[in-house]
Structure 1
Amino acid sequence: MHEKKFKDDMQRVLRWKVALKEAANLSGWHLNNGHESDFIQSIVEEISSGILKCTFLDVAKNPVGLHSHIDAMSELLSVGYDDVRMVGIHGIGGIGKTTIAKAVYNLFAGQFQSFSFLANVRETTKRCGLVQLQETLLSETLGNTNLKVGNEDRGINVIKERLCHMKVLLVLDDVNKLEQLEKLAGDKNWFGPGSRIIITTRDQHVLDTHGVERKYEVRGLSHADALQLLSWNAFKKSYPEKWYEKLMDRVVQYAKGLPLVLVVLGSLLYRRSEAEWESTICKLQKSLHKEIYEILKISFDALEDNEKAIFLDIACFFKGENKDFVTEVLEASDFDPIIGIQVLIERSLVNIGYLGQLQMHDVIQLMGRNIVHKESPNEPGKRSRLWSHEDILHVLMENTGTNAIQGIKLDSFGQKDILLNPGAFTEMKRLRLLIIRNARFSEGPKSLSNELRFLDWTGYPSPSLPSNFHPQKLVTLNMCHSKIKQFEGIKLVKL
């Protein structure tokens, strides 16, 4: 009809055709026969609800060094493809896993039909159970706050039925058990094409067991980023005061790229004098700040008894030692070090160096030693492991050792003779590991524990071992540069 009416101005008609076609393809609301004012009000309410739903998460007060992590995660996620992907973010406590997950969530949430960020899965499961997490997931993705599932098994079916056709972005933060994944994101077919599930955890094995193929291990900050993060928290600007630069370097060296440590210590040192910085740094060499200790200890508390014992032995005695050597010593102590060390690696508590040596973040080592120190803060003779020169000398010279002591390592004391109490080892009946190197004693002990599995005493001061020493469990004996000429009555598995 318009073509006939405007036959002399066909360009206008063509423009109308294009405009009408574009309008017809727009998604929106249909008025039908409703009242226009009510219709407009419903549109406003729905848009307002959507805006609130899309509110960004607070990532970090000073998000230093995030760009490289976001780039790596973007590549793993490849948002836009129609496959369903699960991507794991793993690493040590305090390394920034949750911060990265929040930043990625904020970046991509708008590209999904529905989205949900389930924070603190570990803690929420312990406190409220998995049913509440299932209901929260459904509430956030479906927009139905009244939906109840009743029990975990029904919750699984509801999630599968309601979300299998929806493009969902789901973040499961701080997962520590396989059960949590099985009941919140059991399989890729629970979610519609294009969905992405991000999982943060301290335990890489949880990801492996659930079949998560794409994993991102979070590493510490670079020296430059660490300085900047510390400066933002200590001085509220991106660069430090010039006269604090050396002190800043010492804190950064202590933190070894761990954002948690830099944020906590930076806040602690805000507006402090140089003398207060110096005092704090000296204090930190002996004991962790309480907030840092509590966060890191979560990983230790989740270990089984076998792994706990192995972790404490490494933290107190064997950091930097060859893995095969340590495995041998730990096997002699009736531990299961092959699986134990692997678990510690998966939980980012230990890693293996290029030459096969056991490595551990300095702050993690200090956390382990703090755990032992807390066994008996005021009396070292009642702790399970001794490594401090001061504590060992107190125990050996004052004869305050007890049945609690399982291991002692004294290394490089110096040239001064140590006045050993002859009965110092008498009460240490559970002592299984004794390492004394580069230390001179005035005399040897009158007794040693028959539970010893590993005895390494360089420069042993006496011509013979105690006559009542019957080490039937001893696996390794090293007495080089000692005064002993021969051994009588001792049978060893390895000498």
Structure 2
Amino acid sequence: MKAITSSKILIPIFSENYGTSSWCLDELVQIMERKNKNGQIVLPIFYKVKPADVGHQIGSFGKAFHRREKRLLGRSSFDAVTLKKWKKALLEVSTLKGYEAQGSEAELVKLVVKKALNELKKKFELVISENLVGIDSHVDKVIEFMDNKSHATLFVGIHGMGGIGKTTLAKAIYNKLFNQFEHRSFIDDIRESCKRNDGVPYLQNRLISDILKQKIEFVTKDEGIGLISSRFKHKKVLVLLDDVDDVNQVKCLAGNRDWFSLGSKIIITTRNKRVLEEVGVDHDYELKEMDENQSLILFSKHAFRRDSPPSEFEDLTHEAVSITGGLPLSLEVFGSLVCGKKPRQWRATIKKLKKVPPKEVQEKLRISFEALDYQQKQIFLDIACFFISTNEIIASYMWDACDFFPEEGIEVLIFRSLIKVGDDHMLRMHDQLRDLGREIVREENQGEPSCRSRLWDYKEAQEVLKGNKGTDKIEAINLSEGSAADGDIYTEKQFKNLTNLRYLHMTNAHLSGDFKDLMKGLKWLRWQNCPASFEVNTFDVKELLVLELQGSKINEKWEGWSFFKMAEKLKYLDLSLCVSLENIDFLSTFEKLEVLILSGCWKLKRVNTSIEDMEGLLRLELGSSRALHHAVGADASAEHPVPRFCLRELPAEIGKLKALQQLHLVSTVSLSTLPNSIRSLENLEILDISWSGIEELPDGIGNLRKLRELRASHCTNLKGIMIESMSNLSSLQHLDFTDCDKLQSLPNLPFGLTYLGVTFQSHKLPSLSHLVHLKDLRVRGCGFLQCI
């Protein structure tokens, strides 16, 4: 019982005879009590029994349980209340997401271990939470200054070296002030965003969207300055500008105090104190290294998953902490590096660390890199050079084909704090680690970029190709620089020696000549805004797995398809915003596709019945992505009319996509019905019909037992009474019917919901008392509602 009380993760294993043990059942009652009171994680394993058998005491599990029940009830000393507690705990645990032992038990063990490690890591990742070390005193000092001038518009700067915790401190301050402001915005990672996206206008658009709650697209930074300075004048705002490296970034986002109402607060983080001097901040706070005690706690959280070291590791921990220089990033990375290792291995690692000068943080971090195996190093370097803010699932297609074993590699990199992966699957990496990775690649050949494995800098890549200096050392290359109108032209001569290329990124580029045998090993082609004309004679891309042609001028008759159709291994195809595309019949050759994205293909008239041949398809996006839905929704005006999707129906054959997990139909305003065959999508987890023209849900929607999210907001044609079978959706967690103005009533709701959003015309909500997991309830625009 003590172990149950003190553990963060509890893993009960249910076998056929579990219910015959009073001891086991008493433990289960305790486990569920800890989960409900303290939020401990429970990961049940059902070993050769079904969850329903456990929950309702039926089948072989039930027979064994009832034999035990009969014997116990025959004893005068047995308390029947205990039996009720057992049955309640069994029912509750059977509804949790767990694991069923079917097939390889070794694979099941790997899955459980991976999940446990992920949850442990999540518990101790130093996000804005109570687990942060030594941050309260810094927060209090900055807040004290702000409180003394609470009615003034203030610019506050936080500066310090990379990895010192500036962003964490700023977020903590932001969270403290959050509830005092109706209008607020957090613009993160400004330095990198300016490089990756369309510069300052992209950031201005984000700020305006956050503050005004509407999307107003513009192209130039001067337009943005005019709009912000005029529309924010009467708004008291809280704005956090994270990782600024140029004063002009601040001037374009928060030019001066006159842009905002009195009481506004602008927080700026930067490595460069000069930026804050040029801005003229009211208060400049320098964040310095952690003291020894704070360092010890932070290191222990990552090395031991607790606040202090076990006694046998105490001396080693002090020794390790003494050489980290009090830098939070170093403490986090090195703590993760030695986690789970024996004292002998600790000593070897500390010996390596001691050889590095104390202030050379990058060299210290290099030790964590050197501890990786070859495949893990390749993944780390790819992320550092190209894939920060890229979806791990897409990158894994290439890594898997290169035998880099991405599932294991990403797990190792996360556990060693070298990367982070968000809930959106986006790869994140601290800029210190990014710089380390890029420096390691530069060291492959300091003088000749052409002899390095990766070229991420556009100018260097241009110099190599334009000078015909390419070599077989180059594996990945970025030839994209924003969205220049004219684009570059590349010939076969320039690519002649790049025989080991596996990743190529171009924007607005033209290829010309005979590329036979030049791209045989290419796994991933990201060719955004590619031209309508295809000027290549021969293009061998049979090994291609990922093809991204976003925003291209191509249509179904594009000559390039004759070559790309030979890529029979293709798994990921992104044709979003290919606005000339009218049909996708030609895609039938890609039978191994797992992801097909057709968002923003306004002219697409139909989905061919041959889509049933894509048996492995996991994700299908039609209409508009969630990121694009504003462009076809509330922001329409006479000057910018809504692009009306031509797609009017889906073929019944879509029901044959047995593997499909995600179906996105956002903003398909001409689509009024879903085929009844959708009931056969037994693996569907996400169905998003937001902003669509759907009038009613198909009868068989209750069959989708794995459906986790049903998003149907702004379906203004959705009417009538919702299908009662929806209560059978036992996996449903997110249900959104907000702004469905014609919706008459709701069905009985599935018990697993954590989010419920509704707009409907009834006087009364259905019962909510059984929704014990509900965290977020949004009832909006229900003009007739009298009671809840």
Where on the TM-score scale, by shorter chain, does this alignment land: which range?
Answer: 0.3 to 0.5
Q: TM-score, normalised by structure 1?
A: 0.47
Give the helix-richer structure, 1 or 2.
1
Question: Which one has a bigger Cα radius of gyration?
Answer: 1
Q: TM-score, normalised by structure 2?
A: 0.30
Higher relative contact order (CA 8 A, sep 6+): 1
